[in-house]
Structure 1
Amino acid sequence: MADELVHYEVRRGIATITLDSPHNRNALSTRLRAELTGHLKAAVHDDAVRVVVLTHTGPVFCSGMDLKEAGGASSDQQGVNEFPAILEQLWTSPKPVVARLAGPARAGGVGIVAACDIAIAADTATFAFSEVRIGVVPAVISVTVLPRLLPRAAHELFLTGETFDAHRATTIGLVNRAVPADDLDTEVTRYTDMLALGAPNALAATKRMLQDPRPTNLGEVFADMLELSARHFGGPEGQEGITAFVEKRKPTWVPTD
């Protein structure tokens, strides 16, 4: 719909969710949070969707929470409870989520980037954990950001609030690739095409495996991984993938239109 702040489109197995609130730099207003939540749910529950791309209009990816709304508001009104749910949706989505950044991300916007599985940024994009400079703590976003960042970089950037560029963001683990702006869409498509080749259940199980804490006992780890491997090797997707490989064709799960 034209009056939405967040748009949703599905094409060839790719669900594109677009933040479209450039007047406030795609800040996480009450309305934007609600629409984003709804579209993420739609993508997860749509069997036709294989990969989710989170992108934006305007020069800024996301400036974080809407501070004009937050001023003088209670914790609930500030979205303290809603925003973690959005980060959890992204982090636990069984479909891979790719963040496409043509512009800056700040505060909560960086938390969203970190919650996505893969992040591709234009090399002109910048980032900052600006919370301490307005007297607040980057507590909620730390849940998704800290697993991505090198510890020394996390201490430096959380405490100073310094702005850093996309190339540094790649070296510290926040984004996967920083490319010239003209190459951004091509690079995002390269990743979505690769992800769409993966079997849906295998991708979901692999995401869970990557996120689960590992026991300290290696015997337990190997036992769990052997069970996981055998279950998918002998399952419908594994058998279809093997058959397709032998028959030199694409598996049935690869989107064709």
Structure 2
Amino acid sequence: MSLIATTEDGVRVLTLNRPEVRNAFDDALIAALTAAYAAAIADPAVWAILLKAEGKSFCAGGDLNWMRRMGAYTHAENLQDAEKLAALMRTIDLCPKPTLARVHASAFAGATGLIAASDIVVAVPEAEFAVTEVRIGLIPAVISPYLVRAMGARQARRYFLTAERFSAATAQALGLVHEVVPADALDAAIARHLSALKAASPAALAATKDLIRAVDRPLDDAVVADTARRIADIRASADGKEGVSAFLEKRKAQWGKGETA
């Protein structure tokens, strides 16, 4: 099972469970996550949602087999696929209940979007982060609104363009991660945040989240649709196809060859 959903004292715990591929996500896991968050939102017995993972990585980003399939997608299929990931990110972002992420290891590419869309993020010092899309000829379109909001446009300019890895300490300084604690203190830190949240009114928490979105000029349908269109465009472009092919074939990409599809 690629996603395990359990409930502990009213907290819906969603565990990424694809350790054999470093919890990389594909269309099936995206659908499962979206449905799981939606179910938790609808369940009156659930007051908070925790995202965690099994194995040596939190999430490595996109699954290689999923990326291979993308290479044969039409523009329309790419757009439909991208819209599903966009829907997942927005479901997390608009969740009226507190959302937490327990980052026990590294998180790359789309995984940084899952983290940025969450309310509270706790990571271990060893965790590394990177927004790697440009290295394979793509752009972090769908996750960009959440990352730019978390990191700020100035920092996004650097980390989106260089695709460099950065530490948990840097992620905290950037605003992507709220707290960095040793691995043996990770669960205690999560429990501390949950305890604070449980002491508050659920209605007030939901209203506060809505307030923050209101004063922070929330995303609208046009922005979400635009990000999906942008990634679909570049996936179907010559550099997008070349970058993904080179990555999968473990060779150096040859940029700028051919015309945009």
* Other-structure match for 2:21: 24
Of 112, 115, 118 in structure 2, the residue corresponding to residue 113 of structure 1 is 115
Counterparts of 2:211 and 2:57 in 1: how far apart (Å)? Answer: 33
* Other-structure match for 1:36: 33
* Other-structure match for 2:169: 167
Q: 1:73, CA displacement in angstroms?
A: 3.5
> Does the 8 Å CA contact 1:13/1:196 hold for their aligned counterparts?
no
* Other-structure match for 2:257: none
User: In the superposition, relative to structure 1, how do residues 10 and 214 fare at CA in structure 2: closer, same or farther (>3 Å)?
Assistant: closer
* Other-structure match for 2:3: 6
Counterparts of 1:82 and 1:21 in 2: how far apart (Å)? Answer: 20
Task: Indicate the structure whose relative CO is greater, using CA pairs within 8 Å and at least 6 residues apart.
Answer: 2
* Other-structure match for 1:73: 72
> Does the 8 Å CA contact 1:15/1:43 hold for their aligned counterparts?
yes
Of 40, 57, 60 in structure 1, the residue corresponding to residue 57 of structure 2 is 60
Query: Secondary structure of the equivalent of 1:148?
Result: helix
Structure 2 counterpart of 1:43, which letter? Answer: A
Aligned-pair identity in percent equals 38
Counterparts of 1:122 and 1:214 in 2: how far apart (Å)? Answer: 29
Counterparts of 1:94 and 1:193 in 2: how far apart (Å)? Answer: 18
Structure 2 counterpart of 1:153, which letter? Answer: Q
Query: Secondary structure of the equivalent of 2:91?
Result: helix
- For normalisation by structure 2, the TM-score amounts to 0.78
Number of residue equivalences: 212
* Other-structure match for 1:15: 12
Of 143, 147, 150 in structure 1, the residue corresponding to residue 145 of structure 2 is 143
How does 1:203-242 map onto structure 2 within 5 Å?
A: 203-213=205-215
Query: Secondary structure of the equivalent of 1:54?
Result: strand
Structure 1 counterpart of 2:92, which letter? Answer: L
RMSD over aligned CA atoms reads: 1.5
Counterparts of 2:20 and 2:216 in 1: how far apart (Å)? Answer: 44
- For normalisation by structure 1, the TM-score amounts to 0.79
Deviations 1:7-51 (A, max 9, x none): 111121111000001111111112211211121111101111111
The range that moved more, 70-79 or 82-91, is 70-79
Counterparts of 1:92 and 1:20 in 2: how far apart (Å)? Answer: 24
> Does the 8 Å CA contact 1:102/1:122 hold for their aligned counterparts?
yes
Could you list the runs of 4 or more consecutive aligned residues of structure 1 that deviate by over 2 angstroms after TM superposition?
75-79
User: In the superposition, relative to structure 1, how do residues 113 and 73 fare at CA in structure 2: closer, same or farther (>3 Å)?
Assistant: farther
Q: 1:145, CA displacement in angstroms?
A: 0.7
Query: Secondary structure of the equivalent of 2:50?
Result: strand
Larger radius of gyration: 1
Structure 1 counterpart of 2:114, which letter? Answer: I
Query: Secondary structure of the equivalent of 1:58?
Result: coil
Q: 1:214, CA displacement in angstroms?
A: 5.9
> Does the 8 Å CA contact 1:129/1:158 hold for their aligned counterparts?
yes
* Other-structure match for 2:154: 152
